[in-house]
Amino acid sequence: MLISLGAQGQEKRAYVPSDDKGSIDSLARSEQGTPTALMIDPLLIQQRLKSIEGRIPLIYNIHSHQFVEYFAFKKAAFTQKMLEKRDLYFPLYEKYLKLYNLPDELKYLSLIESGLETKALSNKGAGGLWQFMPYTARGDFGLRVDSFVDERFDPERATEAACKYMRQLYRIFGDWHMVLAAYNTGPGNVKRAIRKCGATNFWGIYNCLPTQTRNYVPQYIAITYMMNYHWDHQIQAQEWARNMPSDTVHVNGYLNLNILSSLSGFSIDTFRVLNPHILANTIPSSHQRIIMRIPSQKYVYFQENRRKILDSAAYFGPRSIGHDSSLSVQPVEQWVKKSHSVRKGENIYTVARLVDVSVFELKRMNHLRSNRIRKGKKLYYFVKEWVMPKIEVAKLDTVKSQEEITDKKLEEKPASKSTKLSKKPKYYKVRSGDTLSEIADKHPGLTVEKIKKLNHLRSKPIQPGMRLRIL
């Protein structure tokens, strides 16, 4: 349940965990042991830890000192990024820590858990700001975790669950360092370490714990120090992350989120930022009371047109929703071409995971012969999305009055026969690895049978370089 740290450049972009899945402690493990020279005065760190100590002891020793220097020098970019992002989540953390009567300084724990990344996912499957395993999130705290909605990625739901968990652990162990150790490795492993070493405090069972857990408490102490004394080590925030004001609504049953966001007047990308816990483009009919956030500036309009918007977002198939639903239109599913510019520290595997495309497909679509990609290169990929026809209601920012939107009837003009006949033929050049079904999927409205008919294909296989008529 530790975070992955990657090299950070000076680019203005959101913090993305490195493709290197090694955690902080695995990187620092090689640096353990008595150093030949310390770069920061030990007495200074010891005095400062005492001055900021609250309910959780901030013990100074060689282990905590090494991690202070680790975050101050080797991982200074990570420390800076945490300063820039902490205001996004600390008010939320403080609210729930106070509600559950927990030490306020526990808010620093999430920094080493997830790097304040809402969708951080460890190689063991732990996810979210507080790095819950799926079975713990579902079984112990009632969070929804499936392929459509994963509430481990919802900052509010995950934070409350983390507070409940830490409160449970404190009732078991009665010692905050032991709570931190149990949060990392599980209470069962801590109890086994207690039996093996015969002690009931963290430093007494230190040698009986897994290596990553031994480093976990010193990491916490060090990052707490750095968040309070970063200025003395020439680490300052350069660009503060800003919170987008939002309001919460509860929705039930099937919804197409592309349609919902379009009719509500904001982009699907904005929806993703506000709702990291909603993973898919749709919410299935089996899901009830899903928490959804929309931009505050669009909330009044959404509430005034809630029924019409939700009816349209729930519409699929040939059925009618009602003659009086002026916002109701039929969505169209199609392949959408998108691009991703390679950032510093990314490689082909990082990008493939980010855009949810296999490495093989990403290389094929971009004609790449090797896995090497350089910073700034634009990679293209296709995703299948439900999209709305271009309609006036989608341009909410340019319409002066809401009455003009709600009163306007949406019309789709069918193409005339003469227009269809005047369309020029379009062709597609076959690439290595292409199949007829893949070519058909890339072009909305095209089928394998239509390709065969347009090109008089029977049993002859297609070859790279062939020009196939597709329209």
* Residues recognised as catalytic: 113
CA distance 368 to 380: 11
Q: Which of 311, 347, 341, 304 is nearest to 326 (CA)?
A: 311
Assess contact for 400 and 444: CB atoms under 8 A: no
Place of tokens 């349209």: 312
Decide: helix, strand or coil at residue 43: helix
Total residues found in the chain within this entry:
471
Q: Which of 402, 128, 408, 395 is nearest to 263 (CA)?
A: 395
Q: Which of 276, 396, 257, 247 is nearest to 314 (CA)?
A: 257
Side-chain half-sphere of 54: how many Cα atoms within 13 Å? Answer: 12
User: Which positions ≥6 away from 119 have C-beta within 8 Å?
Assistant: 127, 128, 153, 276
User: What's 152's DSSP letter?
Assistant: G
Q: Which of 366, 83, 458 is nearest to 233 (CA)?
A: 83
Residue type, 275: N
Which sign does the torsion angle of CA 333, 337, 341, 347 carry? positive
CA distance 84 to 86: 6
CA distance 145 to 133: 10
List the Cα angle 221/223/227 in 5-degree steps: 120
66: left (phi over 0), alpha (psi -120 to 50) or beta: alpha
φ and ψ at residue 424, rounded to 5 degrees: -80, 150
